[in-house]
Amino acid sequence: MTLDRRTLLRGLAGLGAAGFGADPARAAAQDDAGRPLPALASPVRRIFPAGPPAAILLYTLAPDLLAGWPRALRPAEAPYLLPEAAALPELGRLTGRGNTANLETVLALRPDLIVDTGDTGETYRALADRVQQQTGIPALLFDGRLPATPETYRRLGALIGRADAGERLAGICEHILRTVRGRVAAVPEGERPRVYLARGPRGLETARQGAINAESLDLLGAINVAGAGGGLARVSPEDVLAWAPEVIIALDPAFVVAARTDPLWQGVPAVRSGRIHLAPALPFGWVDFPPSVNRFPGLWWLGKALYPERFPEDLRGLARDFHRDFYHVVPEEAALDRVLAGAA
């Protein structure tokens, strides 16, 4: 069930009519890569997302301005978003692995702005510069880390004439971050669980501490058994046995089924004790991918998985509120069941 869809979109369009003049002074003079902010159209009417994280961020802030999705939404994902947005075309992606969009696609859509969010290092800074130079379309790069999200909402909202929406979403994100940090700070070091993040159907790819894929675990104070160093890593079952995690956070239901029945995994403490948790993934992953604002409800979920006595909130109510505030849709109860079961 949509949440007053027509009223929402009329209101967003009305805000857009106010244009960049809504309050440009609130936006800093540079993006998060230190690049000067270019002049923007007034009003901004269409924004091209450079990759999945930017697409989700833009949808939550201004669904009526989103030009399309890097990958067309799957049937299981579409019911959780506004029908108008779910029907948007597949654009391909300008950044990241498997970039498939080309500059002709960008130019044909005639967007007023290109937005990317994620790594702000030199590689992505140079890519944003190149895209902007070759298309003549302003391109902005924002920090994709969870703690940076509130400021991104505020700055991007001010730039595109959606300052009120940006401030509201920023406030919700700040509340979640503040609550999680406060509760985790009260957990003694010796009581923080040893956790393994299992990626893929075999569970033998993981993310090390410092990787954006494991950022939620880091915020929850978990001890990442794969160690530090950032990035993704291929491991063996023997590695996981030696690390002896107390909790496994899994991303693929096939792995959860296999781990609970395969004798090889029965020696892992997390499997023996039943502390293997399948992360919700609808409409987007709650823990790992895409690394965007979709991970905020995952902080509540991880809190309950790792410290159940310290996170007593009703997860169903939190999920419903997040969908209403960020995805602009209130799911039916059966749809919420699918979300919380981790069904994809």
| 205 membership: H or E segment, kind and range | strand 205-207
**Res. 285 pLDDT band, cuts 50 70 90:** very high
Between CA 343 and CA 103 the distance in angstroms is 36
For residues 283-301, average pLDDT: 95
pLDDT at 101: 63
Closest-CA residue to 197 (of 149, 229, 143, 233):
233
Which of 64-78, 89-103, 127-141 is predicted with the least confidence, judged by mean pLDDT? 89-103
Read off φ and ψ for residue 299, nearest 5 degrees: -65, -40
Say what percent of the chain tops pLDDT 70: 89
* Structural domains present in the chain: 5-178 (3.40.50.1980), 188-340 (3.40.50.1980)
For residues 259-284, average pLDDT: 93
Let me know the angle formed at the C-alpha of 117 by 342 and 31, rounded to the nearest 5 degrees: 155
Q: Taking the C-alpha atoms of 309, 313, 316 and 317 in order, what is their torsion angle to the nearest 10 degrees?
A: 180
Please report, for residues 192, 207, 265, the alpha-carbon distance to residue 234 in angstroms, rounded to integers and kept in the order given.
25, 9, 17
224: its two tokens: 């990442």
183: its two tokens: 């509760």
pLDDT at 17: 36
pLDDT at 95: 75
Residue 87 has pLDDT above 70, yes or no: yes
Q: What is the DSSP string of 230-278?
A: -SEEE--HHHHHHH--SEEEES-HHHHHHHHH-GGGGGSHHHHTT-EEE
pLDDT at 16: 38
For residues 3-17, average pLDDT: 40
Per-residue pLDDT tens for 188-235? 999 999 999 999 999 999 999 999 999 999 999 999 999 988 889 999
Please report, for residues 35, 67, 82, 223, the alpha-carbon distance to residue 19 in angstroms, rounded to integers and kept in the order given.
22, 17, 23, 46
User: Which pTM value belongs to this model?
Assistant: 0.88
**Res. 29 pLDDT band, cuts 50 70 90:** confident
For residues 33-59, average pLDDT: 92
